[in-house]
Every structure is written in structure tokens, then in C-alpha cells.
Amino acid sequence: MKFAVGMVLIDAPHSALNMLGIDESLPERTVTRVKRLRKGGLSYPYVSPQAWRYWWRKTLSEHFGWTLSPLFREEKQVFTAANPIVFPDDDVFGYMRAFKKGNVNITVTRMSPLKNTPLISLFPDRSSITADEGYASRHEGDPVPYTQEFYSTVLKGAFSLDLDAVGRFTMVDKAGFKNLLNVGEIPKSLSEVKSEYEALISKAKEIKAEISEKELIMPKEIRKKRASETIKALRYIFGGAKQTQYLTDITPKFIIMAMFDGGINPFISDIVYEERGEIKFDSEALISRILEFNDILNPKKLFIGKDKGFMRGWEDELKKVRDSLDKNGIKVVIASVGDAIEKFAKEIEAYYG
């Protein structure tokens, strides 16, 4: 088991990346609101996890030439092809294809090896959200007033990629583990599905995938490519609502990454937090979190990327992290965001050999 995990900060100086629409519970029905999570007396803007995933998938298609799994409909149902051999996004992002014909249930599901949190604002809404009063007007007729909210904040997000699961498909009769069907179990009456699967398996044989009764493992070159490109995409990630008006760069301005022999992400804690209108980096918290899981940190490396212009005051704190972890035999690579991601991607590639 091996997990590539990380935490990102996205600078959103004036943005409305993911909206709630009009809140019908409010008296004013002309306000387009941003999504919020409430905590105590405060609310925090956020971006849905599935919105971030959607940008991520799109970026893989446009920057890395991934052929995305098509959506198609069968008897009024919609699903992706559920073919992780041909479509890398089915592999990395998972799928569910519920299929039942007559009494035959041949549903396949794949848990997503890539998991991500929502992107959550570090600032509460009272110090980050503005309601912009606008008028739709072309100098003819009456202008139409409308209001839309947007925020100025820094968003935090975390992700985890299960490197063992990428390019490895199980055919076990257990919910979540039946990634593929066995050709033998598809009844003759479903000739279409059968021929689809025969094509899928012959394709797998053609590219020299390892096929046993219980699993199908893609060649390591393909697994390596899919896993490392998934991480590299963060460097180029683009998307989000209202880009015409707010033009937010959603590539991370700060990123911490490491590999662990266990399904944990120590960065889902308060390493970065807000205090009296300022965003703080807690080097002690990061150091203690890493040392807590030092035994499963493998390789003994931590990758930190920071944009020069972002949080200029953090340099000293980062040096503290480097010096302190160095004493414990952990190498800390501090670089620009792009370089840190590239170097981390190299480690991922090295894992597949």
C-alpha cells in the first residue's frame, strides 16, 4: 500500500468559483450566493469536492491528452463506459455502472483511487464575502438589478492518491471491488455487453496487462503515467465558475506533499490557519504531524512548493521545518510549486519501478 497525499492552498483574491444559486429561504430573491459551511457563529465559503474533481479531470484531458470516458445512456440511465483499460479517468476517478437486465445483475463499481476534500476558505464570510450589486443594462429600457456574492480568501484543500489501486482492477464479488466482470459470467442473452467485454479483455491482452482470475494489472508504464500525470495536473489545473469576471488562477500557490505506507493524510489538520485577519503557518504542527507518522513516511521526504509572491513571511517557518525534520533523517525539498510537483511526480514514478 502506498499513498501520495498532499495539501494545497489556492489564492482566490476575488472569486466566485462555485455558487449556491439563489437562496430561496431569504426574503431577497435576487442574490446569487456562494456556498458556505457554518461553524459556531461563523460561516466559511467553500468549493464542492466534485467541482474540484471536475476541473482536475478536465485538466488531465486538455493538458495531458487523456481521452475521457464518454457518458452514454442506456434505457434512460447515464454512466461512463466503466472501461478503465481504455479510459484513464475511469481508472483514476472510479465509476459505477448499475446494470440489470431481467434478473441478471451485472453491476460494476470502482472506488476512486483519487480522493479529495472540498476547497474550504481560511477566512470566515464576514471578512471575505462581498455582495456585488449589479445592473444588466444596454442603455435601452429599464436596467435589471441583481446581486451576486464573491469572496477574497485563500482556500485549503487536501487529496490522496492510492498508488496501488491505479491501474489495478479487481474482479472480486464484493461491493466496491467488482471493477470488471468476468466474460464467463455474462449471460448469452446480453450479447452486447459480452462483446464489449471481449473487446476490453483483448485490448488488455494486447497491451500486455497481467490478467488473473481475480485481478487485472496494467503494465507499469501505464500505471506510472496515469499516477504521475494525475499529480502533475495540479500544476496546470484550471476551471471554476465566473472566470470571465473574476479570472482566478486556481493552481496551488502553496503545496505540501509526501508518500505514506498507509491511508492517512496528516495534512488534514490545522497546519495553516487564520488568526486576526492573517493566515498563519504553524511549523510546529507540521513537524509534529510528520514525526507522528514517521514510521510510515516512505521515502523519508517531504515536498513543499511555494510561490515566491505568496505569503512572503513564511520562509523562516519553512526553514524551521527543514532543519528540524533534517535532524530526524527526513529530507525536506523546498521549491517553487511547479518544481515541487515535478519532483514529487518523479518519486511516484520511482514507486512503480
DSSP-derived letter for residue 299 is S
In the bound state with another protein, the residue whose beta carbon lies nearer, of 173 and 315, is 173
**Dist CA 328 CA 172 (whole Å):** 42
CB atoms within 10 A of CB 66: 22
* Gap between the Cα atoms of 59 and 86, Å rounded: 18
Residue from 30, 67, 77, 195 touching another protein (CB under 8 A): that is: 77
Kindly tell me which of 133 and 295 has the beta carbon lying closer to another protein: 295
Residue from 153, 148, 147 nearest 127 by CA:
153
**Longest CA span, the chain:** 71
Stretch that binds another protein, among 109-117, 225-233, 241-249, 334-342 (CB under 8 A): 109-117
Kindly tell me which of 116 and 153 has the beta carbon lying closer to another protein. 116
Q: At what angle do helices 337-352 and 220-232 cross, to 10 degrees?
A: 160
Q: Where are the alpha helices (DSSP H) in 135-247?
A: 191-206, 220-232, 243-246
Considering the rule CB under 8 A, would residue 169 count as an interface residue with another protein?
A: no
**46 vs 303, beta carbon nearer another protein:** 46
Binding test (CB under 8 A) with another protein, winner from 28, 29, 65, 78: 78
Q: Is 192 in the site for another protein (CB under 8 A)?
A: no
Q: By CB under 8 A, is residue 117 in contact with another protein?
A: yes
> CA 239 to CA 152: how far, in whole Å?
17
SS3 category, 164: coil
Rounded CA gap, 70 and 327, in Å? 50
Size of the site for another protein (CB under 8 A): 55
* One of 295, 315, 323, 326 touching another protein (CB under 8 A): 295
Q: What is the x/- site pattern for another protein, positions 243-272, by CB under 8 A? A: ------------------xxxxxxxxx---
Footprint of another protein on 315-334 (CB under 8 A): none
Binders of another protein among residues 30 to 69 (CB under 8 A) are: 35-40, 43-44, 46, 48-50
In the sheet with 168-170, reading across from the earlier edge strand, the strands are 168-170, 215-217, 210-211
Binding region for another protein (CB under 8 A): 1, 3, 20-21, 35-40, 43-44, 46, 48-50, 73, 76-79, 94, 98, 105, 107, 109, 111-112, 115-118, 120, 158-160, 162, 173-176, 178, 261-269, 292-293, 295-296
